[in-house]
Structure formats: C-alpha cells, structure tokens
A and B are shown apart, each in its own frame.
Chain A
Amino acid sequence: MKGTNYLTETRGLKSWLFTLDHKRIGVMYFWSIMTAFFLGGVFAMLVRIELLTPGRTIMSAEAYNRMFTLHGAVMVFLVLIPSIAATLGNFVLPLMLGAKDVAFPRLNLASYWVYVTGALFALYSMLAGGIDTGWTFYTPYSTSTGGAVTAMVLAAFILGFSTIFTGINFIATIHKLRAPGLTWFKMPLFVWGMYATSIIQVLATPILGITLILLLMERLFQIGIFDARLGGDPLLFQHFFWFYSHPVVYIMILPGMAIMSEVIPVFSRKTIFGYKAIAFSSIAIAVVGFFVWGHHMFVSGQSPLAGAIFSFLTFLVAIPSAVKVFNWLATMYKGSISLEAPMLYAISFLLLFAIGGLTGLFLGSIATDVHLHDTYFVVAHFHFVMFGGTVIAFLAGIHYWWPKMFGRMYSEKWARVSAVLVFVGFNLTFIPQFIMGSRGMPRRYYNYLPQFQPMHVASTIGSWVLGLGFLIMAGYLFASLRKPYDAPANPWGGATLEWETASPPITHNFETTPAISHGPYDYAALRSDA
C-alpha cells in the first residue's frame, strides 16, 4: 500500500461519486464551486460590459436585469455560502483534528449531492428563461413577475439543506472527534472559525427555508402573508429574508477570517497573537451577527425605533472584526515574514477587508445609510467584504493547501503575478463604485445619468484586469496538476496536524492517530523537532 494516497487508492468515476472520504468530497465540492464561480464571473463580466454606456450597449433591459440577478444568485447561493467551508473546511478540518473523517460521512456525501441537485434546479431556472427579481427575491415584485422564479426559489431552498448538513457535521465532528489531548484551546483557529460558521449555518438556514416556502405559496396560491394587496406585509418578507441573509454574510466571511488565522502566523513564523481573543471574537460575530439584520431595512418603512435598535447592535458587531485585524497585525510584529502567494493574498485581505469593514460604518450609521442605501456604495461595500474578504481569503487558502490537496507545487512566479493583477483589478473595479454610489447612482440601473460614465468605464476596465488575473491563475493551477507529485509533507512550515501527514494524505488521513506534542502555532517546537 506504500505510495498510494486518497487520490489514487481507488479509481473510476464511481469511486468518486459515492465516496465517503471527506477529502474527496471536499475536492468534488471544489471543482463544482469553481465551475459555478466561472459562470457567475461570466455574468459579472457581461453586466460590466453592458454598463460601459448608458442605455443599450450589448443587451436589452430585460436581459440586463436577468444578468445581475443570476450573477448575484449564483455567486451567493452556489459559490460564497458553501465556498470555503465545503471545500477547504471539508478537506482540512478532520485533518486538523487528527480525525479519520467527519462525524457523519454519509451526511457529508448527501450534502454534496443535495448541492448538485440545487445547482441543477438553478441551471434549469436559467435555461427556462432566467429570473429578474434580484437575488433578494423581494416581494411583491417576486410574486408578480414572470420567469422561472419557482425553480430558482426551489434551488435556493434545496441548497439550504446542503449548508445545514455541512454545519451539523462540523459541529458534531469538532465536539466528538478531536484527537486525544486536543483540547478546545489547542485547536487551530481555523477550526474555531468553522465552528462559528457552522452555528450560523444551522441556526439561520431554516429561516430561509420557511421564507422561501412562504414565498412560493404566495406566488402559487396567493396566501396573503407577504402580498400587501391581500393584507399581507412585504416587510415581513424582508425581516425573514435578512434574518437569514445577514448572518449568511458571516457564513461567508468567518471561514475567510479562519484562513487568515492560519496563513498569517505560518508565513510570519510566529505564534498567533491573542489566540483566545480571535477564537471568542469568532463566536461573538456568529451570535451578535443575528441581532443586526434590520440594518438592511433602514429606509424600508421599518419603524424608526427598530431602526435605531438595529443600528446600535450593528456597531457592536463591528468590534470583534476589528479585534481580529489588530491581532493579525500584532502576529506579524517581530515575525519572520515571507511573501509567498498565500501570504500575498493574506496581505490583500487585510487591506481590502479593512476598507470593506470601515465603509460598513457609513451603512451601519442610520442617518448616513439613508442616502447610501441601494446605491453603488452598497454594491462596492459588499464586494469589498465578499470578494476582497471571502474570495481573496479563499484564494489564500487554495494556494496554502493546494500542495496538501493535490500533492503538487504551483508556479510561485505566476502565482505572484496573478495575485497582483487580482488586487489591482479588484480595486480598479470597485473603488469608482464607492464614489458613484455616494454621488447618488442607484444600484440595479440599466440606464444611468451621463455624468457617471467615466467611472463606469474605469470599473469595467478593472473587471477585465481582474478576469485576466483569474485566467492566469487557472493556467498555472491546471499546469501544476500535470506534474508528478512533488510537494513535501510540510512545504510552508506549518505546525497544525494536517502538515504531519503526507501530501496528498492517505485515505485514512494518518498512519496512527497523531499525538498532540505541541500547539497549533508552536513553530519553535517544530524547529527543535527538525
């Protein structure tokens, strides 16, 4: 059996499709999500090209409305929500715990297949005419417009189950499958981040489920709960929707932060600063993140009293994120920093997430939000958090664990080129959008006032630079897969358990259950071992 690993131990399509191995499920999730990311990226590019000129550039208003809706729906439901947790989380979490698998391997496989089913529903919706509701499905627009809304709502509903399954699995795994001696405060912070993420996945997703069921019933049977014409309350839909969709933002960003807490110490060769502060801030974000959904509704007709309460709570949730950023910076202090691709992305994350977080102050503050709500300022803000935060962290994680997942090193030179292009392209795309937004350019606009055209053009050019960065990335990552296995077990000098097994790992992860001899960030101990 010497020489085989989880990729080569069994062969054939069936050995993948029905695998119970968390690593293989993680890899399948990875390719599926990358496919969806590509699709969502194409939609984004088309949206940006259309916005080169006011009025028609390449498509009609109806087509444009479908385009931005599909971009949002695909990126949120098919990419960002599962992204890090389902791919890297699935792959790395049991390894980090010294476990052979997640607690419920069959549930894990079910989660993947449910994801695929949901994705097929979404695909059907796209082929059957698409939808033009925006990814937020606001009623009564979504209950009165045409298009394949039912299929897309069902897709989101089904995808919710895949999220719930992952969340249940991770919580049970973290509680019950830690290697002997791996106490809660010896766990890597990535695991803490996943734990916090899973809490939200389990608690928030069911509310999305019931909201979408009610939406479908309203659309099909006119039950009069959300439809004002029948005595319903459209704001109830918004409350339900954001009770889910605000915590979802933390489902997306917490895993990103979790990756930061691994990459920054490893590439600084220094124990993480403020372990407990970072761990507890993850939990605090997960919990307080549930208290703030009403800040999406400051101008919706929600009562001013509720608005004030939500604004107050929103400012509270800003603090744990700030605490994390400061702790990461302190980790770099007096370290030994090397700027390989994962660390380049980590530095990008620090800068972009800082902008994303700080611009959140404008939106959490109730008076300033009134002017900025539903403008490009909001669009730019959440792209700085979702892309500048989650996607950049995902890229950091992919580059960090790529040798472990696939057993090959990628071209470091091209990785750096691509990282710089992504950073520059992203900023060129979205910084003009902040300015447009605060100057009064509403979002979801097909046509716009001529004064905004120069900034729209800059933004579109930025999207091309960004696209080029991703093309190069795809190139060198695919190229690395054609090479023979060349990755050492521990290429970066990490101290967490996944680096103690081979790259790629054997099917059962470890030859023997690992003993916990040092902490997750104890690089000094690692050096004395060597």
Chain B
Amino acid sequence: MSPDLSQTHPHGGPKLYAAVLAALLVLTGITVTSSYIDFGSPAVNVVIALVIASIKASLVALYFMHLRYDKPVLSVIFVGGLFFLGLLLMLTMIDAGSRDSVPSWNSKPPAGGPVAR
C-alpha cells in the first residue's frame, strides 16, 4: 500500500557522503592552519574561522541531514531558528557595543568592583 520511500526521496548515496566527509576534513585542516597565521587583527581570524565553520555546517545540514532533498518546510524551520538566534546576538551586541562608560571626576572604579580571581 505504501510506495517505497527510498524512491520518493532521493538522498544521495555513499559516494556523495564520502566526498562530503573529505571536504569536511579538508576544511578542518584549513581552519587549524589559518589559526596559526597572523592576519594583523584577531578579528580577521575569528571571521575566517566562523566562515569556514559555517561552510562545514552547511555541508552537514544539506547532505548528511538531507535538507537539500527534503521538503522546503524543514529548511524553513532550520533557517528560521538560526534567524532568531542571529536576532538575539545582533541586538544584544548592539547594546553592549554602544554603552558608553561614564567619565567622572572621581576616578575610583565604581562600587562593587571586581573580585580578582
């Protein structure tokens, strides 16, 4: 009564999966190598690391997790989740980045100062 699910949902095969694994390992190598290179600013290293991580994550999601072949609704759910996470990150960082520290005639650190540890 039910059609063979494997026919209705192509998901790639062992060859494709092996290729994806190879790509993931190569990308891992590139991240590690790049972390030893000084690009002048630590921010550049972070950006490079995160971009490579995102490529790797996309490969896993698209092929290992079949998003490429599945119904679009699943991709919408996944990307939607990432979108709201991005929102939290962005608006929180906007606040943290634009709080001004109040200059004062009294150069003491504010009350309740940090406990050294």
Interface residues of A (CB under 8 A from B): 175, 203, 207, 224, 228-231, 233, 235-236, 239-240, 243, 290-291, 293-294, 301-306, 309-310
Contacts and interface: CB of A to CB of B under 8 A. Distances in A.
A291 B87 contact: yes
Interface of B: 73, 80-81, 84, 87-88, 91-92, 94-100, 112-115, 117
B84 A290 contact: yes
Contacts of B96: 233, 235-236, 303
B114 A231 contact: yes
A229 B116 CA distance: 9
B95 A303 contact: yes
B98 A306 contact: yes
A247 B29 CA distance: 41
B114 A303 contact: no
Contacts of B97: 303
A303 B99 contact: yes
A306 B87 contact: no
A305 B98 contact: yes
Contacts of B114: 228-231
Interface-centre pick from B81, B84, B87, B114 (highest chain A CB count, 10 A): B84
Contact of B73 (A175, A231, A303): A175
Contacts of B99: 301-303
Contacts of B115: 229-230
B94 A309 contact: yes
22 contacts: A175-B73, A207-B88, A224-B117, A228-B112, A229-B113, A229-B114, A231-B114, A233-B96, A235-B96, A236-B96, A239-B91, A239-B95, A240-B88, A290-B87, A291-B87, A294-B95, A302-B95, A303-B96, A303-B100, A304-B98, A306-B91, A306-B95
A304 to B, nearest CB: 8
B86 to A, nearest CB: 11
B113 to A, nearest CB: 8
B94 A306 contact: yes
A240 B91 CA distance: 11
B76 to A, nearest CB: 11
Contacts of B73: 175
B89 to A, nearest CB: 10
Nearest to A175: B73
B84 A203 contact: yes
10 tightest A-B CB contacts, nearest first:
A306-B95, A303-B98, A303-B99, A305-B98, A239-B92, A231-B114, A203-B84, A302-B95, A303-B95, A243-B88
B61 to A, nearest CB: 18
Contacts of A240: 88
Contacts of B92: 236, 239
Nearest to A232: B114
A302 B96 CA distance: 8
Find the residue from A294, A303, A304, A310 having the highest chain B CB count within 10 A: A303
Given A229-B112, A301-B99, A309-B91, A203 B117 contact: no
Contacts of B112: 228-229
A235 B97 CA distance: 13
B103 to A, nearest CB: 16
A116 to B, nearest CB: 28
Contacts of B91: 239, 291, 293-294, 306, 309-310
Nearest to B88: A243
Contacts of B94: 303, 305-306, 309
Contacts of B81: 203
Nearest to A243: B88
Contacts of A233: 96
A220 to B, nearest CB: 16
Nearest to B80: A203
Contacts of A203: 80-81, 84
Contacts of B117: 224, 230
Contacts of A306: 91, 94-95, 98
A511 B39 CA distance: 70
Contacts of A230: 114-115, 117
Nearest to B95: A306
A228 B94 CA distance: 20
A111 to B, nearest CB: 19
A240 B92 CA distance: 9
Q: Which of B91, B97, B98 is the most central at the interface, judged by chain A CB atoms within 10 Å of its CB?
A: B91
B97 to A, nearest CB: 8
A301 B73 CA distance: 40
Given A228-B112, A229-B114, A230-B115, A235 B88 contact: no
